[in-house]
Structure 1
Amino acid sequence: MADDPTTTITNQHHHQRLAASPSPPPPAPVPQTPGPRASKLQEIFDKALARTLRANSYANFSGCFPTPAKHVPASLESVWRQLNAKLEESAKAEFEDILTERDAVTQLNELDRLVGEARYRKDHGEGEESVGPHMLSPEELYRAHLLPHLMETQAKLDARIGSVQVENEELAGKVQEQRAEMERLLSGLEAVVADVEGAAAATTQFTAENRLRQDAAQMDGEVKARSEI
């Protein structure tokens, strides 16, 4: 039985399309420059750190130390600037360590690429019906299986950033407590100085009064001696 002409033409067209289809190109290397998600992650961290530093304003800081703020404001402001700089430096260093340890920029950039590819295929009608799993390259299959891991990594990073923000807020609270303790110590020191000054004044007054008594006794003795002569 002769083949159906329609079937023959369809098969020839199918084989021609497969022969003309080029091999899938290798995936583009993932750039190290932060993409949209990595940039958003950095932006969230910067905002959280900025809020923490704003809470430690000079007005709040100097309010805990009224005596130094009145007598040595320049020195107190220098201490405040150094404290804020150290807090900012430590938070940024820890954040960078987390990014490096988790290879966050590369992973988030890869997630951006996979989401972009999926969106492009959806917009152009390239779904599972047009491209079966057996048509994908091993690299593409590997990246598809990697997507859940990337999403899990992003969730862990978000949780870690939230934890760092909470730690920063706790650190700011401890700083406030230390300032209050320093203020109490300064108040106690001022009270001790006042007591010492009062004791010194009383001692001076007692010495002066005792000298007057001695002078009066000496004069009285001289008068009695002269009268006896």
Structure 2
Amino acid sequence: MNAHSRSPSPAAPPPLAESPGPRATALINVFNNALDATLKKCSYSSFAACFPTAAQYVPESLDALWRDFTRKLGQVWKSEFDNILIERNIVQSLNSLDQCIVDAKKRKERAETSSNGSPVEVPVPAHTLPPSSLHLAHLLPFLEQHSALLDSQLSATNTSNTELLSSITAQRAEIDALVRGLETVVQDLEKSAQMMGQEEVQGLSAEVREIDAEMKK
């Protein structure tokens, strides 16, 4: 089984509930039943047998001590059990197992429905797959997620680049228009300067001719 023949990855499972599911509830019930059965074995008669003098002379005090002892002992055991559930994520792990079983049943039902009465193809057991396939199966959701993220970022970058190119093109067109306008103004100024120069030369020539005529008289 290679990367090209793998079936599409299943949808991501829903977030696991914090409240105990069927298996977590069963585990908690087993503990509570075991706790109750253990404390019941520590009966008053068994407790009093360990303190015969107190049982004979102050049975009321011994009874109160026994009740307080068993109550606190149950609280300590329950607290330790709750801490283990939290520290090792027992509830979430068992809820995950419940979800895996539910998903497997749904896939089986879909396969039976789509088979239209023909034999259902048994999927390849996961423990028989090569390490490379298992490795890719675990990496594929992560890679697909990051590939989608990169595609989104690339699309946003392309859009930004297109907008930037349009802005630069418009600015260049505006600059070209300004340059052409300045060139026209410069040409007009040069023509004006040339015309003014010709008029001054013509006026100076007339003055020279007048002076020359007066000197010849």
TM class by smaller structure = 0.3 to 0.5
Please, what TM-score do these two structures have when normalized by structure 2? 0.46
| TM-score, normalised by the number of residues in structure 1 | 0.44
